Structure 1
Amino acid sequence: MSRQAALSSFVESTPPGELADVTKAIKSILGDEAQADLAPAFEKYNEDQFATVKLPGGSSEVLVSPYNSLGDGRYYDVESQSSFAFDHATQKASGVQSYVLDSSHSDLVKGLVKSLGIHASEHYPKSSLGVYPTEDDSQLAIITVANKYSPSNFWNGRWRSSYIYSPSSGSIMGAIKVDVHYYEDGNVRLLTNKAVQLSVGAYAGATEVVRQIANAERKYQEDLNKAFGSLSEGAFKALRRQLPITRQKIEWEKISGYRLGQDIGGGRSR
C-alpha cells in the first residue's frame, strides 16, 4: 500500500466529529508535509459523511455532499439561496455568494425542503438537510444528517439518510447509515447501513414523499432499539464471564447505566 493510500484509509475511517484529532495525530508523525497527500481524502470524507458547516453570518448549518457540489471546492444551499467555498482540511466555509437554483423541479425541491424540515425538527434534536437535483435534472437527492458529539463523555454519533427520488416513476432508493463511536477505557463502534426502497407513485407531492421516508426511518430506529435489547439480553451477555474481574455479578437489568469500558470490564474507579 502506498503512503497516500495508507493515509487516506485513516481519514476515510475516521469516526464522526473526530477528523481534527485524526489529522493532528497524522501530522504529529509525518509533519505538515502530509497535508498535500491528505487533500483528496479530506474531500472524499467530507462529501461521503455529508459534512455540515455554518456559513459566515448564518445561523444554521448547511451540507457538503456530492449532490450540491459546483466543482472547484464550491457548494450550494437551496434554502439560503447561496453558494460557498469549503476548505476540506479545516471544514470552514467562506466566499458566500448568491445562488439561484435552475431546475425544472424547483417547486418540488422547495416543497420537499419544507416537508423534510418539519420531519427533521420532530425527530432529530439537531439536524441539517438538503434537496438537490441530480446532474441531468431527472431525479432529486434528499439528504438528512444528524450529529451529536460528546467528547467529554468519550462518544460521538452521526445519522445519515440519503435517497434518490425519481418523480417520473415515483421510486425512492437510498440508505440509512448510523455511526456511533464510544471510546472510554476501550474502543467500541457501531456502523450500520440499511438499504431503503420505496414507491410513492408517479409525480407524488412533497408531503407524501417525506411521509414515506419518515415511516422508513421510524421503522429502522425501532428495529435498532429491538436489536440493542436483544444484544444486552443475549449475545452481549454471553460474551462476558459470569464473574468479571471485580468478582461482582453484573445486574443486567441495569445495563444501560454502566460505563461500557470501565464498569463492565472491571476497570479503574474514579
Structure 2
Amino acid sequence: MPSEANEATLTPRRCSSFPADVRSLLKNDESLKKVAADAFAYHNKKHFFPVAIEGVEKPAHVTPYNEIEASRFYHPRNRMSFRFDHMQFESTDWSPYSDANIDQLEPKRSALEAVIDAYIEAHFKQGSANVYGLRSTDGKEEFVVCIVNNRYQPKNFWNGHWKSRWTVRIESSHQAKIVGKIKVIVHYFEDGNVQLVNSKPIERSLSFTNDVNLWQTVVKIIGEEESNCQKAIGDSCHRLGDSIFRGLRRQLPVTRSKIDWPKLINYKVGTELKPQ
C-alpha cells in the first residue's frame, strides 16, 4: 500500500486521470488491473471518494466504514448498497441493503446525520458528509462521521482536499469519547510543484444528558477543532512566508510579475545584454 508521504501527493481528481494515462502506456487492461487495482481501492477509501446518485442530492462515500465486502458499499441515507469500480470511478448494481446491527442504531445515526448536515451546509458549501452506525468489538455503539470537501481549479493550477473523520464512541449512558483526524492536502503546480500537507489527530471526552445534547456537543467539538486547524494552517503559511521563504529568496526587489522569457529581448535587461 502507498505510504502516507506518497498518498499525500495525490488529490482525488488528480488520481482519477491516472488509469487512462497508465492504460495508454501498458496497452493492456488486465496488466493495469493486476498492478494498480489494490492501490486505487486503497486511495479511494482513504479519501472518502464521493459517489453521485441519480435523483439524490447528497452523494454516497467510498470509505472503510461502509464497505460490506470487496468493492461493495452501502449508503445509509437510502439504505442501498452498490458496487464501485475503483478504476473507472463508477457505481453499479444498486440494491436494497439491511443489517440488523446497523438498523438498531438507525434512530441515533439519523439524528446525528441531521445536525451534521446543518454543519456541512454552513461550512462546506461544496462538501459532503455521511454518518455510519457501527458496533465495536466489545459491543459499544459507535458512530463515524466522514466529511470531505474537494476543490479543483486546474485552470488556476491548484487542487485542494479537506477530509476529516470523527468516531463517537458511547462509553456509558452519560459519557462518550470522540476521536478524530483532520487531513488537508493542497497542490499548487504553476511553473513548479508545491504541496501543503497537514494532519491533525484529536481525542476528547464529553458528558451528555440525552441524545440531543450529545449530538449538539459533538458538532460543537467538530466545529471548534476544524476551525482551530484551519487557523493554525493559515498562521503557519504566514510564518513560512515571513521567515523561512524570505531567507531563501534572493535579495532583489520583489515585483510580483513574471518574465516572459521568449520575449526577453523586449525588456530593458534584454537590450542591455545584446552584443554591442
The alignment status of 1:17 with 2:13, answered yes or no, reads yes
The alignment status of 1:146 with 2:149, answered yes or no, reads yes
- Which residue matches 2:120? 120
TM-score where L is the length of structure 1: 0.82
Letter in 2 for 1:119: Y
In the TM superposition, what whole-angstrom CA distance separates every residue of 1:222-257 from its partner, at most 9, and x where no partner exists? 1111112212222222221122xxxxx126xxxxxx
Q: Give 1:133 shift.
A: 2.3
Seen in structure 2, the aligned counterparts of structure 1 residues 98 and 184 have a Cα distance that, compared at 3 Å, is: same
Greater C-alpha Rg: 2
Seen in structure 2, the aligned counterparts of structure 1 residues 217 and 143 have a Cα distance that, compared at 3 Å, is: same
The alignment status of 1:161 with 2:164, answered yes or no, reads yes
The alignment status of 1:214 with 2:195, answered yes or no, reads no
Seen in structure 2, the aligned counterparts of structure 1 residues 191 and 269 have a Cα distance that, compared at 3 Å, is: farther
Q: More strand per residue: 1 or 2? A: 2
When structure 1 is superposed on structure 2, of 130-139 and 193-202 the one drifting more is: 130-139
- The partner residue of 2:196 within 174, 190, 193 is 190
The alignment status of 1:250 with 2:230, answered yes or no, reads no
- Which residue matches 1:72? 70
Letter in 1 for 2:27: G
Please tell me whether the aligned partners of residues 50 and 60 of structure 2 are also in contact (alpha carbons under 8 angstroms).
yes
Q: Give 1:13 shift.
A: 4.7
When structure 1 is superposed on structure 2, of 151-160 and 198-207 the one drifting more is: 198-207
- The partner residue of 2:179 within 170, 173, 186 is 173
The alignment status of 1:239 with 2:239, answered yes or no, reads no
Please tell me whether the aligned partners of residues 79 and 113 of structure 1 are also in contact (alpha carbons under 8 angstroms).
no
Q: Give 1:269 shift.
A: 8.5
Give, in whole Å, the separation in 2 of the partners of 1:268 and 1:23: 35
- Which residue matches 1:254? none
Seen in structure 2, the aligned counterparts of structure 1 residues 75 and 194 have a Cα distance that, compared at 3 Å, is: same
Please tell me whether the aligned partners of residues 11 and 41 of structure 1 are also in contact (alpha carbons under 8 angstroms).
no
Letter in 2 for 1:196: I
Give, in whole Å, the separation in 2 of the partners of 1:13 and 1:231: 20
Q: Unaligned regions of 5+ residues in structure 2, if any?
A: 264-276
Give, in whole Å, the separation in 2 of the partners of 1:143 and 1:62: 11
Q: Give 1:15 shift.
A: 2.8
Please tell me whether the aligned partners of residues 181 and 189 of structure 1 are also in contact (alpha carbons under 8 angstroms).
yes
Please tell me whether the aligned partners of residues 8 and 185 of structure 2 are also in contact (alpha carbons under 8 angstroms).
no
Give, in whole Å, the separation in 2 of the partners of 1:56 and 1:18: 24
Q: Give 1:24 shift.
A: 2.9
Q: Give 1:11 shift.
A: 7.2
Q: How many residues align?
A: 248
Please tell me whether the aligned partners of residues 16 and 89 of structure 2 are also in contact (alpha carbons under 8 angstroms).
no
Q: Give 1:21 shift.
A: 2.6
Give, in whole Å, the separation in 2 of the partners of 1:85 and 1:69: 10
Please tell me whether the aligned partners of residues 9 and 187 of structure 2 are also in contact (alpha carbons under 8 angstroms).
no
Please tell me whether the aligned partners of residues 11 and 22 of structure 1 are also in contact (alpha carbons under 8 angstroms).
no
How many percent of aligned residue pairs carry the same amino acid?
27
- Which residue matches 2:25? 29
Task: Indicate the RMSD between aligned Cα atoms, in angstroms.
Answer: 2.5
Q: Give 1:98 shift.
A: 2.6
In the TM superposition, what whole-angstrom CA distance separates every residue of 1:206-225 from its partner, at most 9, and x where no partner exists? 11111111111111111111
Please tell me whether the aligned partners of residues 12 and 44 of structure 2 are also in contact (alpha carbons under 8 angstroms).
no
In the TM superposition, what whole-angstrom CA distance separates every residue of 1:129-162 from its partner, at most 9, and x where no partner exists? 1111235363221110011111122211110000
When structure 1 is superposed on structure 2, of 45-54 and 225-234 the one drifting more is: 225-234
Letter in 1 for 2:42: K
Q: Give 1:94 shift.
A: 1.6
Seen in structure 2, the aligned counterparts of structure 1 residues 268 and 191 have a Cα distance that, compared at 3 Å, is: farther
SS in 1 for 2:65: helix
SS in 1 for 2:225: helix
Letter in 2 for 1:19: C
